[in-house]
Amino acid sequence: MTPSRDRPILGILSVISLIVLSYLLWAIPFKYEPSPAFYLVVVSVISAFNISILFGWLSMGKTVGIILAVISMLEVVFFDLRLGIEGYSMFVLPFFIASLIGYRLERIKNKLNQLLILRSEKLEEEMNVLSNSIKEKEASIASFEEKLRKYSKLEYVVESFSTVLSTDKISRLMIEESLKTIGKEGRALIFLVDTEKQELMLEASKNASGVKMKKGDVFDNWVLRHRKSLMVEDVVRDFRFPTDDIEESKAVFRSLIATPLVAENKVTGIIRIDNPKEFAYTQDDLRLLDIIADLGAVALQNAMLYSRIQELAIKDSLTGLAVRRYFMDRFQEEIKRTARKKGALSFMILDIDHFKKYNDKYGHMAGDLVLKYLARTVKSLIQEGDIAVRYGGEEIAILLCGRDKKSALKEAEIIRKTIEEKPFTLRRHVAKITVSIGISSYPEDAILEEDLIKIADGRLYKAKNAGRNKVC
């Protein structure tokens, strides 16, 4: 099959050869001689004409092939007539045969061309499919590399969480790492669950200046209620949330991802990231946030347990006041600080009058309630920086930093009167509680904590012996 770019050349050659042959027939003075040599010349000329006709059929198509065949036959007929050759029709027959062969070849050529076109189109289609497949694979590889890059950051997140034991620092770290790992602009918020009120409270945020939803919005409460992750591509089009509930939200953000912080099968908080653009986040982003949330929830739980252990180490579990060991350490530190500044401090110890009667009359649980009530009252009356401690069974001690004996007596009297006058209901009965108080001061009474405690304790018993409900 002749390539398409060679067809014009072959067509031109066939026309030129026909012109040359025609010229030779008319220009050369042939004479009819019935000899083998003469007939050999005639056959050669006819063959040359037929070859030109075949080239015409193959190169220029049916129309040109027929025209060339007709011209060639006329040329030969006129040549035979001129020379007076009889039986010229026999010389015309090869032209018909050549035309039939050319027609057949032209049909075969067209079929081959169509087959070539079909194969070319199929090959091109396969190449396009292969090209698209390669592009998809490249996009998939790029996406995988991006995921790998993001997930590799989680190693640092784990290491960071394992070295922090503060809920505040862990919350800020979760926000920072979430935004950095997901790699998209947005506002990040963390809410922790208030166990007493069972509601969300804002713990930390980034890019959220002037945030108003301190207790979360409809989206955060949805996550808390359903205990599962949430992705909203466009808050305006999400049928799960009524238009009235998102009226204020849509002015601030249009898309978000949020997930619960779950530890020991309990939801301890919510982490969310939102964006002012629609369709800002993908399922991969939500999966990353889920992983960070799982890691952060465990870290938060550990931090809370650590904080609780620390609190138990320095606070009495019943009253919430400091324990005696912690108090004694602080007492020594405050005396050294006061000595350096050449200031004053006072130590106060108070005891509930007739405490045993509450246990005898209402049971031991009643005594615990009285102690809790007394601890709450004392904590509400002392100043910031003062230290209150459950010193003994029903005794409470208070370290008054920076106050001399005169100020301590005045404050002790306020505490005594408040406890006496404040009503306390115990098992539907109004009970009257009074306390006796003993005070010592540094450096007026002593300069060592043991001596100050001993003096204040002695004055406490002096107040009890004087009739109770007194300050000594």
CA 134/CA 96 separation, integer angstroms: 55
CA 95/CA 99 separation, integer angstroms: 6
Give CB contacts under 8 A, 24+ apart, made by 25-31. Answer: 25/75, 25/76, 25/79, 26/79, 30/79, 30/83, 31/83
Distance, C-alpha 120 to centroid of its chain: 46
Contact 161, 172 (CB under 8 A): no
Report helix, strand or coil for 292.
Answer: helix
Strands 395-401 vs 345-352: parallel, antiparallel or unpaired: antiparallel
Give strand ranges (E) for 265-420. 266-275, 345-352, 387-390, 395-401
Close Cβ partners of 199 (under 8 Å, ≥ 6 residues apart): 193, 215, 216
Catalytic residue among 106, 334, 394, 449: 394
227: left (phi over 0), alpha (psi -120 to 50) or beta: left
Is residue 145 part of the annotated active site? The answer reads no
Question: What is the DSSP code (8-state) at residue 229?
Answer: -
3-state secondary structure 156-205: HHHHHHHCCCCHHHHHHHHHHHHHHHHCCCCEEEEEEEECCCCEEEEEEE
Please name every residue paired with 397 in a beta bridge, in sequence order, or none if there are none. Answer: 349, 389
H or E stretch covering 441: strand 435-442
Angle between helices 364-381 and 405-421 (to 10 degrees): 130
Place of tokens 């009970």: 431
Cα dihedral value 44, 49, 52, 54, nearest 10: -100
Report helix, strand or coil for 432.
Answer: coil
Maximal C-alpha separation, the chain: 173
Strands 345-352 vs 187-194: parallel, antiparallel or unpaired: unpaired
CA 325/CA 317 separation, integer angstroms: 14
Active site residues: 394
